[in-house]
Amino acid sequence: MQTEFSKEQQLLRDIVSRALREKSPATAVREQMASDRGYDPEIWQELCGDAGLAGVHVPVAYGGAGGGAVELGIVAEEMGRTLFCGPWFASAVMAGTALLEAANEPDWQELLPGVAGGSTIATLVLDDLNGPAGVGGSIRAAGDGKLSGTAAMAVDAHVADLLLVTASGAGGLGLHAVEGGAPGLTVEPLQVVDPTRKLSRVAFADVPARRVGDVTAGTLDRIWDRICSALAHEMIGGAQHLFETTVNYTKERFQFGRPIGSFQALKHRCADLAVEIEIARALTHHSARCLDAGAGEPYAASMAKAATADAYMSAARAGIQLRGGIGFTWENDTHLWFKRAKGSEVLFGTPAIHRERMMTMLEGAA
């Protein structure tokens, strides 16, 4: 299994990082988080249409770049670092992964190129965002394929052209393709803690849909693992950004005639954070390598998600605390990352849920 990034992967990171620093500065984040749509279509076109960032993990045959979880993770990490606002995570990571894992030809031919090229904005609608075991209870597919039921929260569904919905029907749990704006579909934007990631309530009342694949327990676990690995990357990028800016702040802010970074209480807190982030980053990168190699611990993605969520929140808490009063203001950018950390901590399973999932894989259920 790979243990370091290749030159090509390093180059990909440099390119993505440069593009996002330019296209997604904090001012742009603030603008998009305040808007209803939540992203800038021009920038979406540049990053996904022109630069292909939504297709890094999609096979070349379907318009992607043919990378794997590592490449997807690299993009996610840089997106998380800059808090990029847009449906990349919903479309490329969630919907793209669901299609790759659950669908088949000819749906791949039909659906993947749009997702990979950014011309289709897709999302994955799950009726439970806590863990795979809860998925499939609230949305049903009738004999004629029409869907009924509700998903309490779906990421970026308000802008989706294509909704991939897990629903149970006669053939068990399946993945169903629904067009945005289909009759009977209601997408109701929700008020959220983290305004950089939009959520909606999605209700289905006899919505026409097409079943594109089966979602067995194994498939759902694989989808979950890939999404969690990418999310862990997104989180570690954010944690790293918060940590760096916080450490820099302690070098510049003076109290008692000296930089606050010279106070040992702050130094030691930062050193402990460095260790926590280092461990989480190693687990995160490892999770993608395991997925690509089809080897390693079967619970590698859960380790990454659990450890990184905790590390991100530690970095976020320190980010506010070490700035003092200014850290608690709306004007200061720290809270943007704090809120993303909080949202990501619970999306696709809290750390505790992932730790239990690990233990179940390792030792069986309690």
Residue 203 or 232: the one with the smaller Cβ distance to another protein is: 232
The least distance separating another protein from the CB of residue 6, rounded to whole angstroms, comes to: 13
The least distance separating another protein from the CB of residue 127, rounded to whole angstroms, comes to: 25
By the rule CB under 8 A, 11 interacts with another protein: no
d(CA 243, CA 217): 38
Using a 10 angstrom Cβ sphere, with 0-12 exposed, 13-18 middle and 19 or more buried, the burial of residue 65 is: middle
Binders of another protein among residues 271 to 290 (CB under 8 A) are 271-272, 274-275, 278-283, 285-286
Which letter, b or e, does each residue of 222-236 get, where b requires 16 or more Cβ atoms within 10 Å of its Cβ? bbbbbbbbbbbbbbb
The least distance separating another protein from the CB of residue 282, rounded to whole angstroms, comes to: 4
> To 5 degrees, how large is the angle CA 129–CA 237–CA 357?
35
By the rule CB under 8 A, 7 interacts with another protein: no
DSSP state of 198: -
Binders of another protein among residues 343 to 362 (CB under 8 A) are 352, 354-356, 358-359, 362
By the rule CB under 8 A, 259 interacts with another protein: yes
| Total Cβ atoms within 10 A of residue 273 | 22
d(CA 96, CA 56): 10
Contact criterion met (CB below 8 Å) for 110 and 49: no
By the rule CB under 8 A, 306 interacts with another protein: yes
The least distance separating another protein from the CB of residue 297, rounded to whole angstroms, comes to: 7
By the rule CB under 8 A, 250 interacts with another protein: yes
| Binding-site member from 105, 144, 181, 264 for another protein (CB under 8 A) | 264
| Binding-site member from 4, 36, 144, 331 for another protein (CB under 8 A) | 4
The least distance separating another protein from the CB of residue 304, rounded to whole angstroms, comes to: 9
The least distance separating another protein from the CB of residue 289, rounded to whole angstroms, comes to: 10
Residue 38 or 261: the one with the smaller Cβ distance to another protein is: 261
Residue type, 64: G
By the rule CB under 8 A, 303 interacts with another protein: yes
By the rule CB under 8 A, 258 interacts with another protein: yes
The least distance separating another protein from the CB of residue 288, rounded to whole angstroms, comes to: 12
Q: What residues pair up with 174 in beta bridges, in sequence order?
A: 167, 214
Residue 152 or 247: the one with the smaller Cβ distance to another protein is: 247
| Binding-site member from 75, 115, 266, 315 for another protein (CB under 8 A) | 266
| Binding-site member from 104, 216, 262, 329 for another protein (CB under 8 A) | 262
By the rule CB under 8 A, 293 interacts with another protein: no
Contact criterion met (CB below 8 Å) for 140 and 167: yes
Place of tokens 């194994």: 218
Residue 149, φ and ψ in degrees, nearest 5: 135, -170
DSSP H helices, the chain, are 7-23, 26-34, 41-44, 69-82, 88, 96-102, 107-117, 217-252, 264-293, 300-321, 334-346, 351-363
Q: What residues pair up with 199 in beta bridges, in sequence order?
A: 155
* Interface residue list for another protein (CB under 8 A): 3-4, 247, 250-251, 258-259, 261-264, 266-268, 270-272, 274-275, 278-283, 285-286, 297, 303, 306-307, 352, 354-356, 358-359, 362-363, 366
